[in-house]
Structures are given as C-alpha cells and as structure tokens.
Structure 1
Amino acid sequence: MRIKTVSWYNDFVSRLIQCRACPRLVGYRESVKPLPRFMRYDYWRRPVPPWGDLGNARIMIVGLAPAAHGGNRTGRMFTGDSSAQFLFRALYEAGLSNKPYSISRDDGVAVRCVYITSVVKCAPPNNRPSNEEIRTCVNNWFRYELEYVRPRAIIALGHVAFLGIKLALGIRAEFRHNDHVDFSGIRIFMSYHPSPRNTNTGRLKMEDLVSIFRMAMEYAGCVLT
C-alpha cells in the first residue's frame, strides 16, 4: 500500500489556525464562556485542526463544526464533548481507534485508516453556521483537505457535513441516513450526527454507526493488523 506524503499537513494547520475569514464565527469562538466543569481549562478559541492517520487515511470522517466546549476548548476535532465520546466508542468497536474516548490532545488516542475533520472549522452559535460561512470554509480549507488526503471513502456525519461535501465535489444528491452515493471512485456514506439530540433519543444507535464504519472500511480496503 502506498503511504501518502504528509508534508502538506503542518503548513495547512499553521495557516488554518490563523483564519479570521468569518467575523461572526471569530466573535463567537473567542467569546464562549467556559462551563463550570471546564473553568480550570484554557480554551483553544481558534479554528480547530483536523487530525488522524495522516500517512494512511483511506476514510475521511466529516463533521459539522467544532463544539463550543469540545474542539473549541481542546483544540482537536471531536475531542472533549459527548458527541466525541459516542463517535470514539464506535471507532473503537470498529477497530479504528486504540481507545474508546477522545478527551484531550494528549490523551494518547491514535486512530488508524481515518482522517477526522469538519466542514466548518470554527464553533458556530447554536451549532448553525450560515450558508455563506459553509461556502467560505469549504472553498478556503475543505477542498484542499480532499485534494491532499484523497480518501477512498467519506463518512458524512449529518446534513451540514453532507452539504459541505456536495459543495466541494460538485455532486447532486440528497442526504439519507445509512445510505451512500458514489462519485469519481469515492463512496460517500451518510450517517446522522452523533449529537446527544440523536444518540439520546435512539435516532442514531451505536450499532448503526459501527456498521457504517465497517462498510466504509470494506469499501476503502482498510486492513488493520
């Protein structure tokens, strides 16, 4: 298996974390007040970098945006909030993570075969970026991630993530949970977002997300040893 070059990543992240393209998002990410249980932590308050198995990322996992008290606090996508814990339990069950949690940048978590990112890089108010903010982030950042990572499979976690993928790739399709669409050799799998709104109500079950991961692994040819 050919190992991808990762020389682009550090430059990408160094430019990303300086981004101030969307005034509303900049204002919000910098003004989020810590929750009582996180008062002792310094919040990241910048665009949140993607991360993953940079040399062998055959699957790209795409979320909506960093959580105000998750990635916006910890500085790593899908880290430190309840959505992250659900996602990483599923990754662990599928064999894609060495730990069933994602708490901080120094928690020792390592993932295999996956690259974890979001369509919008800054935490938006009420988890709702505007269409203009989505387009700006897709054009400035997400398109380049697709170009450099070159995934065989993409997992869209929710409608907004799928919208960003459609904008980046120029495809026409509707979001349907537990379905997929093919485009130019890439298979895009669709899942509800692992937010408490979906997981606490049973709309998204752990076994459903694990199943989607395993289908993506099979399609992408992820071989775990």
Structure 2
Amino acid sequence: MVALVTAATGPEPDRDCGLCPRLVAYRAENRARNPDWWNGPAPSFGDDQARLLVLGLAPGRTGANRTGRPFTGDHAGVMLFETLLKTGFARGRYDARPDDGLTLVDCMISNAVRCAPPGNKPETSEEAACRPFLAARLAALPRLEVVVTLGDVSRRNLLRSLGLPASAGTSGHGAEFEAGPYRVLNSYHCSRLNTNTGRLTPEMFEAVFRRARNLLDG
C-alpha cells in the first residue's frame, strides 16, 4: 500500500499560511496593490465525494489569486470549465466569478501549490512545503478514483505526495498510469501559452476528460 506524505494540518492551508517566505512576500505585494482581491492560498473547489480530482500547478495572479476559486478568472479556466461542463463534471454556467453558481459534479479541482508564485513558477522548496496539503486533500476524498494532472509539475507532485518517485509515472499529454490506488491521466496544462500555440487543442483536452468519464462510468 502506498503511504501518503504526512500532512501537518488538513487539506487546506490557512488564509495567512507562512510556510514559503517568497510566496508570503508576493502575497503581501499583491494585497498592497489590490486589497479587494483574495490574495491568499486558493482553496480546493468541488464535490467532497468526488471520484475525479483535477490537479493544476498553482493559482494565477489575476485568476484564483484574485477570485479565490481555482482556475476562475484567467484564460486557463475558460477551457477547463467548458470541458467539465461538456463532459458532465460541472453544472451551471461559468462566468469567471466565484459567485456564478457553477457547481462541480463528482469532481474537485485543486493545485499542487496553493499560493500564486511570481511568474507562475513555484520553486521546488515551495512545492515540497505545500505537498502535505495535497496529500491531505487526497486522503479527504474517500471515493477518489481518477486524477487528471495538468502538466508535469502537477504529475510529479502527485506522485511524490503518494510517496512515489517523480519518475514513477509517464510524462506527456495523454499519458495514463496507475499510482497507488488511483488512475492518473496527464494532460498539457490549459494555459494561454499551450492553447495559443496549438500545443493543446480543445479536442485534445476534451479527450482526456472523456477518458476519465469512461473510466468512472465504464
């Protein structure tokens, strides 16, 4: 049996989590410039009984760091939530606001790193500091079966949170493998860079979630 990384607290960090000095300083900078933003660790969003977990990298400065909901308010969220709606993992309408009434169905969204990092690039020490929250999030989802990782940073952190080496799972878009009790599907991240360059198309992204649907309802 795979052992999860020990979690110091629970699945969600405190609003003023101080584990990563660089991220704390960046958070303070954003609070000073935009005091009406969320400016804190973005909590996971979705169904506590979810069988599917979507794992991103980290909140975007003007996305979840602004709105307080993962993938809400930035370019990446448009493709993600539209795809979840198409594949039956969401209900309602995505309007890029945490109060838009959108709900997730049998699905939860979280991030490997919960605070927005400068340049959207967390340091390895920050990934490690946040990993116990990911381990606790996994442990708090009793029905979880499938994890979709968005990008290799998310994939590596998932594996490490399960006590596995980062090399234990295949990288690249469309990769699929077993990790502990879960089936993992890896996708390119739905970032503006990947979608604008055509590296990730809506069809490619949707295919990953269709596969997740087939695995769960097969």
Q: TM tier, shorter chain?
A: 0.7 to 0.9
> Is the alpha carbon distance of 1:73 and 1:162 closer, same or farther for their aligned partners in structure 2, counting shifts above 3 Å?
same
Counterpart AA for 1:57 = A
Q: Unaligned 5+ residue runs, structure 2?
A: 1-8
- CA distance in structure 1 between the aligned counterparts of 2:175 and 2:95, rounded to whole angstroms: 26
Which structure has the higher relative contact order (CA within 8 Å, separation 6+)? Answer: 2
Maintained 8 Å contact 1:88/1:99 = no
> Is the alpha carbon distance of 1:65 and 1:80 closer, same or farther for their aligned partners in structure 2, counting shifts above 3 Å?
same
Choose from 46, 52, 60 the match for 1:52.
Answer: 46
Alignment coverage as a number of residue pairs: 206
TM-score of the aligned structures, taking structure 2 as reference length: 0.87
Show the counterpart of 1:127: 120
Show the counterpart of 1:211: 207
- CA distance in structure 2 between the aligned counterparts of 1:28 and 1:15, rounded to whole angstroms: 17
Maintained 8 Å contact 1:84/1:102 = no
- CA distance in structure 1 between the aligned counterparts of 2:27 and 2:92, rounded to whole angstroms: 28
- CA distance in structure 1 between the aligned counterparts of 2:24 and 2:172, rounded to whole angstroms: 32
Show the counterpart of 1:17: 15
Alignment of 1:105-144 (within 5 A): 105-139=98-132, 141-144=133-136
Q: RMSD between aligned alpha carbons?
A: 2.2
- CA distance in structure 2 between the aligned counterparts of 1:118 and 1:167, rounded to whole angstroms: 14
> Is the alpha carbon distance of 1:199 and 1:14 closer, same or farther for their aligned partners in structure 2, counting shifts above 3 Å?
closer
- CA distance in structure 1 between the aligned counterparts of 2:182 and 2:83, rounded to whole angstroms: 22
Q: Unaligned 5+ residue runs, structure 1?
A: 1-10
- CA distance in structure 1 between the aligned counterparts of 2:170 and 2:118, rounded to whole angstroms: 25
Maintained 8 Å contact 1:61/1:156 = yes
Choose from 92, 107, 111 the match for 2:85.
Answer: 92
Give the secondary structure class of the aligned counterpart of 2:86.
Answer: helix
Give the secondary structure class of the aligned counterpart of 1:16.
Answer: coil
Alignment of 1:167-178 (within 5 A): 167-171=160-164, 172-178=168-174
